[in-house]
């Protein structure tokens, strides 16, 4: 059973990007099971580190269930477009829309 439900507002760590790529929270739109990728389906950065071990597509996996992934529509300040992101459950915390918006601090 997943920890969070569809339509809940959650916060998650920012991607560390600046401008409209900063994402700090959103509304859960779907819950999907995560599985470990088969070795032949893993992709790597040029420096040799793996781009990710998990997938929500069971046919690309070895079938080993690893937890839940949450599809979220990001909550952004006015003037910035919302995006759809997938976030692992252990990175999420329940919050309110107001707290997410207040977390976007603009430094003058």
pLDDT digits (tens, 9 = 90+) for 16-68: 544 445 678 899 999 999 998 888 888 888 998 887 888 888 888 888 888 89
Report the pLDDT value the prediction gives residue 20, as an integer from 0 to 100.
46
Asked if 5 and 28 touch (Cβ cutoff 8 Å), the reply is: yes
Residue 3 scores a pLDDT above 60: yes
Q: Which two tokens stand for residue 33?
A: 């099971």
List Cα–Cα distances, 96 to 13, 37, 44, 53, 75, in angstroms.
15, 33, 36, 31, 10
Q: How confident is the model at residue 1 (pLDDT cuts 50, 70, 90)?
A: confident
What pLDDT shows up at residue 27?
95
Q: What is the pLDDT of residue 106?
A: 59
Does this model's pTM top 0.85? My answer is no
Residue 14 has pLDDT above 80, yes or no: no
Alpha helices (H) along the chain? 97-102
Q: Which residues contact 25 (CB under 8 A, 6 or more apart)?
A: 9, 10, 11, 12, 72, 74, 75, 95, 97, 99, 100, 103
DSSP 50: B
Q: Identify which has the larger pLDDT, 105 or 46.
A: 46
């Amino acid at each position: 059973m997943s920890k969070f439900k569809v339509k809940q507002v959650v916060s998650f760590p920012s991607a560390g990007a600046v401008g409209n790529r900063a994402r700090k929270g959103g509304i859960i739109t779907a819950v999907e099971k995560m599985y470990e990728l088969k070795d032949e389906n893993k992709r790597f950065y040029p420096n040799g580190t793996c781009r990710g071990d998990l997938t929500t597509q069971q046919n690309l996996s070895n079938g080993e269930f690893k937890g839940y992934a949450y599809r979220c529509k990001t909550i952004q300040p006015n003037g910035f477009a919302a995006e759809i992101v997938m976030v692992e459950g252990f990175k999420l915390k329940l919050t309110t829309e107001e707290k997410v918006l207040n977390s976007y601090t603009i430094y003058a």
